[in-house]
């Protein structure tokens, strides 16, 4: 696995894209031994213009200035201990940013950067931090209310990669991050999920949110068509 960066390092990425009045996202790529892995950063704008950065990715200066023009980066969520790559350099760039992590991942993340809290108070009733049940407290999520519905921001418990090919594509399919439809990756089932019933209950709870407009995942495309049905299908796969 790539070692966490010690200085600002920009890997290939796209442009920040606005999904709702209070949500932006950007995707990039990281070169792994077997493939180039797509990865996603999501930015949530709080009511006072402070920013919550979920799965931070170092962007080029033009995009970082565009981000800073929107608001002050105030919270950095490291969603599990496999997503530490840019954590240290974000803290270096923004010394006052509060680093947030799920409790189960705290020890390994703190080997890279100090964690300020595992239960953040964003001061905004529309943004909720969740330590995902059934994941050994290793996985974080966000539920964000917006003018055009709710957005569920997940990390590694759902993969939704398409259009993969070659040996790298085969590997991603075998790992469960890529396929014809969203799925819970095999690597998550083996290495992270310790209570399928608890995770299933959480997925069904999210599926009951009639306002849910989209699901964002760290590895793959947004799920915007029938997101609640997708959650029910994922829950069924855990039986």
pLDDT 10s digits, 167-211: 566 567 666 676 678 999 888 888 899 999 999 999 999 999 999
The domain locations on the chain are 17-236
Indicate the CATH number of 17-236 among 3.40.50.10090, 3.40.50.2300, 3.60.15.10, 3.30.70.20. 3.60.15.10
Say whether pLDDT at 165 is over 70: no
Contact 101, 112 (CB under 8 A): no
Contact 4, 85 (CB under 8 A): yes
pLDDT at 173: 67
Angle value at C-alpha 57, between 13 and 167, nearest 5 degrees? 60
Two structure tokens written together for 145: 């209310």
Task: Name the percent of the chain lying above pLDDT 70.
Answer: 93
What span, in angstroms and rounded, lies between the C-alpha atoms of 79 and 89?
16
pLDDT in tens, 79-121: 999 999 999 999 999 999 999 999 999 999 999 999 999 999 9
pLDDT in tens, 134-157: 999 999 999 999 989 999 999 999
- The two beta strands, 149-153 and 212-216, are parallel
Q: What's the pTM value of the predicted model, to 2 decimals?
A: 0.94
Beta-ladder partners of 223: 215
pLDDT at 31: 84
What phi and psi, each to the nearest 5 degrees, are found at residue 153?
A: -110, 115
Contact 133, 202 (CB under 8 A): yes
């Amino acid at each position: 696995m790539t070692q966490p960066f010690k200085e600002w390092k920009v890997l290939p990425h796209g442009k920040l894209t606005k999904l709702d009045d209070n949500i932006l996202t950007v995707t990039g790529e990281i070169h792994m031994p077997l493939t180039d892995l797509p990865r996603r950063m999501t930015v949530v704008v709080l009511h006072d213009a402070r920013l919550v950065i979920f799965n931070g990715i170092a962007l080029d200066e033009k995009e970082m200035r565009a981000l800073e023009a929107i608001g002050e980066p105030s919270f950095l969520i490291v969603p599990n201990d496999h997503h530490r790559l840019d954590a240290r350099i974000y803290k270096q760039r923004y010394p006052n940013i509060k680093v947030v992590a799920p409790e189960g991942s705290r020890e390994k993340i703190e080997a890279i950067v100090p964690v300020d809290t595992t239960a953040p108070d964003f001061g905004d009733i529309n943004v909720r931090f969740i330590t995902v049940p059934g994941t050994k407290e290793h996985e974080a999520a966000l539920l964000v209310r917006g003018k055009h519905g709710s957005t569920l921001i997940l990390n590694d418990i759902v993969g939704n990669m398409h259009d993969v090919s070659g040996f790298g594509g085969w590997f991603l399919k075998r790992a469960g991050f890529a396929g014809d439809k969203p799925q819970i990756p095999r690597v998550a089932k083996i290495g992270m999920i310790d209570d399928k019933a608890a995770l299933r209950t959480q997925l069904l709870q999210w599926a009951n949110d009639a306002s849910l407009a989209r699901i964002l995942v760290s590895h793959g495309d947004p799920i915007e068509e029938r997101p609640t049905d997708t959650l029910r299908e994922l829950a069924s796969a855990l039986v």
